[in-house]
Amino acid sequence: MKFPIGKEIYIRTPSSLINIKELISWFRMEKFNGVLWGESSNFLTEILVYNGIVPKAYTLRETEILAEDNASIEIFVNDFIARSNLISLYSLEKEIVSSILISYFSTPKIFQEETYLFVPDKLVEESKKENAISHILIESPSDKSHFLFSKGKFLGYYQEKDGVLKEELSISEFFENSENLLSFYQVGVEEFEKLNIPSLRFSFVEEDITSWTKKLLEYVNYVVTYYTELGMYIKNMESLLRDLKILGKSLICSDNKFTIKNEIMESYEEVEKEVVELIARINRGLADIWGEKIVRQKYIQVYKKFLEENQNDKVIIELLDRLNPENIEF
């Protein structure tokens, strides 16, 4: 196992019983940390999830690496669509995943040196620095052992043969074999936040989120145009994005139209809430000038008009339910 087995959420569940779009959306919304497995025939895809995103993935046949990262995600997705894999999900503490990540995305302080050159207790002491995240990797001819530390605490260790996370610290025995090699990774807590940790894409999920968001923005822009044609001008539309966590960093306003400038990795539910708030801000701003009663009447009109023009678009009909006049606060 490239990653440790955490707390079981579900195990070896047929993919036909899992809604993968909802699962990935839930990862984003809950800022999930853990490992997603897809077992198919004689190989296993392990997907590491950190804070709701996927930075690393492997496909393995026993100890042989068959694929990595995007290629592994593609294997997982193809098997899922074919309903040929079994899905398992395990949660891990965020600190454990952080310690794993530094072995991939930071420069090692020690890399594949013979273990006899080092004193185990001194290395553990160094790993327990209060303001650091540390990872000791010991490679033997038959296995790899990972010792994980964060903010002065030993979090546990696991061996790739079984992936079982153990809490007791018994590192000295791993230094007795002269064939073993040591690598040591350590970054400061603040430095960790600056690491370039990628987000692998479950393309069919992210593409849906992007297309959904574009559909919602199509409606927002339609509303703004409708108001403008009535002489109800919205001043400084860019300011409407202020303090919106997702849309504020993902959208740009040009010629009184909102467009996507950065990919959106959060869940659809989070995006939808912010679009509702964006519409509410537009209406509240106009209500201060024109009065709530008039703006409410005009919003009802534009909402119905847009639905009528898109009545054959089932996606639009479904998406706009949350944006109906009853759900918008003035």
Query: What's the total number of domains in the chain?
Result: 3
- 278 close to 241: Cβ distance less than 8 angstroms: yes
| CA angle, 209 then 212 then 216, to 5° | 135
Q: 307 and 283, same structural domain? A: yes
pTM: 0.73
Q: 97 and 82, same structural domain? A: no
DSSP3 helix / strand / coil % (the chain, rounded to 5)? 45, 25, 30
Q: 146 and 82, same structural domain? A: no
| Token representation of residue 138 | 């010991």
Strands 251-254 and 181-188: unpaired
Among candidate residues 174, 199, 224, the one where a domain is terminated: 199
What does the alpha-carbon distance between residue 267 and residue 262 come to, in Å, rounded to a whole number? Answer: 15
Please report, in tens digits, the pLDDT of each residue of the chain (330 residues total).
Answer: 999 999 999 999 999 899 888 888 789 888 999 999 999 888 999 999 999 999 999 999 988 999 999 999 999 988 888 888 999 999 999 999 999 999 999 999 999 999 999 999 999 999 999 999 999 999 999 999 999 999 999 999 999 999 999 998 889 989 988 899 999 999 999 999 999 999 888 866 666 677 888 889 999 999 999 999 999 998 888 899 999 988 998 899 988 899 998 777 777 778 888 999 999 999 999 999 999 999 999 999 999 999 999 888 877 787 787 788 887 777
Sheet holding 132-139, edge to edge: 110-114, 181-188, 132-139, 144-150, 153-159
Q: 323 and 216, same structural domain? A: yes
Sheet holding 53-61, edge to edge: 7-14, 86-91, 34-40, 43-50, 53-61, 64-68
Q: 101 and 56, same structural domain? A: no
Q: 108 and 82, same structural domain? A: no
Among candidate residues 55, 70, 92, the one where a domain is terminated: 92
CA neighbours within 13 Å on the CB side: how many for 30? 12
Q: 97 and 66, same structural domain? A: no
Q: 239 and 322, same structural domain? A: yes
Among candidate residues 166, 199, 232, the one where a domain is terminated: 199
Q: 9 and 71, same structural domain? A: yes
Q: 126 and 59, same structural domain? A: no
For residue 144, the enclosing domain spans 93-199
Q: 309 and 207, same structural domain? A: yes
What does the alpha-carbon distance between residue 313 and residue 47 come to, in Å, rounded to a whole number? Answer: 35
What does the alpha-carbon distance between residue 309 and residue 240 come to, in Å, rounded to a whole number? Answer: 27
Give pLDDT tens digits for 303-327. 999 999 988 887 778 778 778 888 7
Q: 159 and 80, same structural domain? A: no
